[in-house]
Structures are given as C-alpha cells and as structure tokens.
C-alpha cells in the first residue's frame, strides 16, 4: 500500500526502477553493515547510502545522543540565538580539517554546500567564473548542477549558471591555461572523483594543481561530500595529498545518516568577505543550517570516528578488500581494474573480448549503456544479499564502499559473493538471457 501511495504521489519511475532491479526491499532494521527485511532476509550494505553511513547504520551512541538531545527540550531551530553546538562543532572541524580553515558555514545538504562555496568564492575574489573537472558530481541544485558536464543530468534544466568551464580531471596543463585567464573565482573539485569511477590522482598532481590555483588567485575548493569523514582512511581525502585547500565542503557522513547537515570550511578572510557588516549578518543562511539535532549528530559522529579509530580501520579494511578483489580480477576477462583508497573502491569492467560474451554484451549495451552494470547489481542483490551500485558517471564501475565499521568477515563475505557473481556472468547464459528479457520489459514505456 505504501509503495502504491509513493508511486502515485511521489515518484513512480523510482518505484519502477527498484522493482525492475529487484532491490525494493521492505527494510525493517538497519544496524552497522546489515540491513534486515520484513521477510527476515539479511542484506550486506556495500554502498553506505553513497558514503553516508561511515559509522554504520543507527550507531547506538548516535541514536542515544539524539534521544538525549530531544529529551532536553532545548531550542532546536530558534534562529534567534547563538546556537552553542554549532560553535563547538565548527571548532572541532577546524582541528580535524586544517588549522587555516577557521570558519564554517553550516547548511543541510551537499548541494547547498556547493552553492555556498560558489557564492563565497565569487564575493571574495570579485570574479564570476568557476572551474570544475569533467565527470564531476557536485549535486543537483541549479548552481551545483552547473558544475557537472553530463548531458543526461543537465537536459531540460538549462540554461544553468554562466561563467562555468571545465577541464579533464587534474590535467594540470589544461588547468594552467584556464587559470591564466584570471576569470576564475574557484576551482571546485573532488579530491578523488567518486561518481566518475573512483579516480585517485597522485599527490604530485594535486600539489601542482594547488600551486597553480594559488599563483593565479583562484580558490581551491575541495568537495569532500563523499570522500570526507574518514572514508578514504584519513579524515579528509585531501590529507593524502599534502595540499591546503581554501575551502572544504563536507556533508553526507558528517551526521551519520540520521540528520541532514553540511559544512563549508574556509579561511577567515573568505568568510569575512560575505559577513562583512552587521546588515549582512544573515546574507547567506538556511533555516535548518545550524539546528541542534544536526549539530549533536555531527559531534557524536566525530567522537565515534575517534574512539573506534575508524580512519585506521578504513585504511586496513580497504587494503584487504582491494587485495582480495585484485586476486579475483585475474580470473575474469571483463574485470579491467581495481581502484580505490580506504573504503572508497571501484571495480572497473570492460567489454568482453571472447566471441561468446561479446555478442551478448553488445545487445545489453545497445539497450542502455547502464544495462550491464545494473543487471550485475541486481544479480549481487538477488543471489548474494549484497547492496551496492554502479557509479553515476561511469556505468562500468561497481562501487565497494561499506560502512567503515565493516568487519574482516563481512569483507570476506562480499569477496565470496562477488566471485560467484563474476563466475555466473562469465560462464552461465542465465544471467544474460534473464537480463535481456528483463531489460526489454523495463525499457518499454509505462
């Protein structure tokens, strides 16, 4: 009944997609890495809500902290006082992100974080241009969407913001050419590209890029919405590369998935360019931005991250996961490469070269470029009880990004399930036959 209501009143195409993939489960209990359905089936989460559940689902300390905060019956969104937890959280974030990032602007979503960065960069530099990387994912509000080149995302929503240009991800030659024009307020970029297939640059490339931004007066803004809060084995992915960005955008995992929150950290002088006088005290704000429950959730997530040493765990588990995947990769012709850092990992596939699989694969990709990947996701879910997804801008990359709390046994369970799935894809006709029938049905107009 609730599915019917959702389809009728919210988004029927989302219901169609989930039902086609067979992933429309009625989850009744979510704890750590495990999702339990009403029918008692257990699913292992290797997607983490696109890097939201770094501390796992419904971490008991987080749930207790929110209960306590509610029981206190204090102001949550009064917007008429100085919210003390916002100051406390901002100070903790400065400690963790970098001492030069002394100011934080709080919003509720990653996209709002990106919008904030665009506005503050423009105000500070008095330039209007914003540079981004090809294949980036920065969010779906109009400003954030302007920083995404993908035609599918943009169609029907243009014109977007003017003055936006892009370069291939960390192509320092192209970067220098653009920056030399003096048009760009900011280079807004993910330190590791997530939706574009988990692309991890070298520290040398990052240091060169940061140096170019500094030389040309363009602010370097790191979008750490997916990569932050320990996901890559350090608090920020930026910390792997030895660069000091002018702004950092955090969201998703910051509040552990129970409350929406985003935070844009920046140098003092950038913040002062916007909040420059008493009449501009609220010139950039958002109703839910500094609400007490989000602030409490984020403070508790930071405590959990520290007390459970989740950055170190992510580094170790990630190395174990990649090693296991690399061993599997050698057995299967369609696996091209294993990529990743910490617990942000991708398995890159390639079209098959053997004649038998080539024809089947071609019929899949003729139907839709994401078809092969989506049917693999379906297979993993249906037969192995593993939840994951393909990347939004590279359909041939499957994500392996469990909560940072994932145990060795759970990583082992994923590896075994993935191995069996790869074996079925490479040796059995059933996967392809059922897939083609299903895809045909799914692509018929409703």
Ligand X SMILES: Cc1ncc(COP(=O)(O)O)c(C=O)c1O
Residues at the site binding ligand X, with contacts judged by CB under 6 A = 50, 109-111, 114, 137-139, 190, 194, 223, 225-226, 251
Residue with the shortest CB distance to ligand X: 110
**To 10 degrees, the CA torsion angle through 240, 301, 291, 344?**
40
Residues 237, 239, 244: CA angle, nearest 5 degrees: 110
CB of 226 to ligand X, least distance (A): 4
d(CA 76, CA 237) in angstroms, rounded, equals 32
Q: How far lies 326's CA from each of 339, 357, 419, in Å?
A: 9, 22, 11
Residue (of 122, 124, 125, 146) closest to 136 by Cα position: 146
Residue (of 258, 262, 269) closest to 293 by Cα position: 258
Helix (H, G, I), strand (E, B) or coil at 32: strand
Annotated catalytic residue within 178, 252, 348, 399: 252
Of 57 and 413, the one with the shorter C-beta distance to ligand X is 57
Q: How many helices (H) and strands (E) does the chain have?
A: 17, 14
CB of 37 to ligand X, least distance (A): 25
CB of 84 to ligand X, least distance (A): 25
CB of 215 to ligand X, least distance (A): 26
Of 143 and 194, the one with the shorter C-beta distance to ligand X is 194
Of 190 and 384, the one with the shorter C-beta distance to ligand X is 190
Annotated catalytic residue within 46, 106, 120, 137: 137
CB of 134 to ligand X, least distance (A): 14
d(CA 164, CA 400) in angstroms, rounded, equals 32
91 with 144: CB under 8 angstroms? no
**Cβ atoms < 10 Å from Cβ of 321:** 26
Residue 223 among the catalytic residues = yes
109 with 251: CB under 8 angstroms? yes
Of 109 and 232, the one with the shorter C-beta distance to ligand X is 109
d(CA 322, CA 119) in angstroms, rounded, equals 39
Residue 252 among the catalytic residues = yes
CB of 223 to ligand X, least distance (A): 5
Of 193 and 421, the one with the shorter C-beta distance to ligand X is 193
Residues 337, 151, 114: CA angle, nearest 5 degrees: 85
Measured N-to-C along each axis, helices 371-384 and 408-427 cross at an angle, to the nearest 10 degrees, of 120
Where in the sequence numbering do the catalytic residues fall? 137, 223, 252
């Amino acid at each position: 009944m609730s599915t019917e209501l959702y389809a009728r009143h919210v988004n029927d195409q989302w219901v169609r997609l989930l039902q086609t993939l067979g992933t429309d489960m009625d989850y009744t209990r979510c704890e750590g890495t495990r999702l339990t359905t009403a029918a008692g089936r257990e699913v292992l989460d290797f997607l983490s809500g696109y890097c939201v559940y770094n501390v796992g689902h419904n971490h008991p300390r987080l749930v207790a902290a929110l209960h306590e905060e509610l029981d206190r019956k204090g102001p949550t969104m009064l917007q008429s006082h100085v919210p003390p937890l916002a100051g406390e959280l901002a100070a903790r974030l400065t400690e963790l992100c970098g001492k030069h990032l002394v100011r934080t602007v709080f919003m509720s979503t990653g996209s709002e974080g990106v919008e904030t960065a665009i506005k503050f960069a423009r105000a500070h530099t008095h330039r209007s241009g914003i540079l981004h990387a090809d294949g980036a994912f920065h969010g779906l509000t109009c400003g954030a969407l302007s920083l995404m080149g993908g035609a599918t995302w943009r169609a029907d929503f243009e014109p977007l913001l003017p003055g936006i240009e892009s370069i291939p991800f960390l192509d320092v030659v192209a970067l220098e050419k653009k920056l030399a024009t003096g048009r760009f307020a900011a280079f807004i970029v993910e330190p590791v590209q997530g939706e574009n297939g988990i692309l991890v640059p070298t520290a040398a490339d990052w240091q060169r890029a940061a140096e170019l931004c500094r030389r040309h007066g363009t602010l370097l803004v790191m979008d750490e919405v997916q990569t932050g809060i320990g996901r890559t084995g350090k608090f920020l992915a930026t910390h792997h590369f030895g660069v000091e960005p002018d702004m950092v955008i955090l969201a998703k995992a910051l509040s552990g998935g129970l409350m929406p929150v985003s935070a844009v950290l920046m140098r003092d002088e950038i913040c002062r360019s916007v909040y420059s006088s008493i009449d501009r005290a609220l010139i950039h704000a958002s109703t839910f931005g500094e609400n007490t429950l989000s602030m409490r959730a984020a403070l508790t997530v930071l405590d959990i991250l520290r007390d459970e040493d989740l950055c170190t765990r992510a580094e170790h588990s990630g190395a174990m996961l990649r090693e296991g995947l690399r061993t599997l990769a050698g057995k299967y012709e369609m696996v091209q490469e294993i990529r990743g850092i910490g617990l942000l990992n991708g398995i890159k596939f390639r079209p098959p070269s053997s004649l038998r699989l080539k024809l089947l694969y071609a019929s899949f990709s003729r139907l839709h470029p994401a078809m092969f990947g989506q049917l693999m996701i379906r297979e993993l879910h249906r037969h192995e009880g593993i939840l994951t997804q393909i990347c939004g801008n590279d359909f041939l990359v499957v994500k392996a990004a469990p909560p940072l709390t994932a145990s060795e046994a759970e990583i082992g369970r994923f590896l075994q399930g993935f191995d069996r799935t790869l074996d079925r894809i490479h040796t059995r006709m059933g996967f392809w036959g059922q897939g083609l029938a299903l895809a045909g049905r799914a692509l018929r107009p409703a």
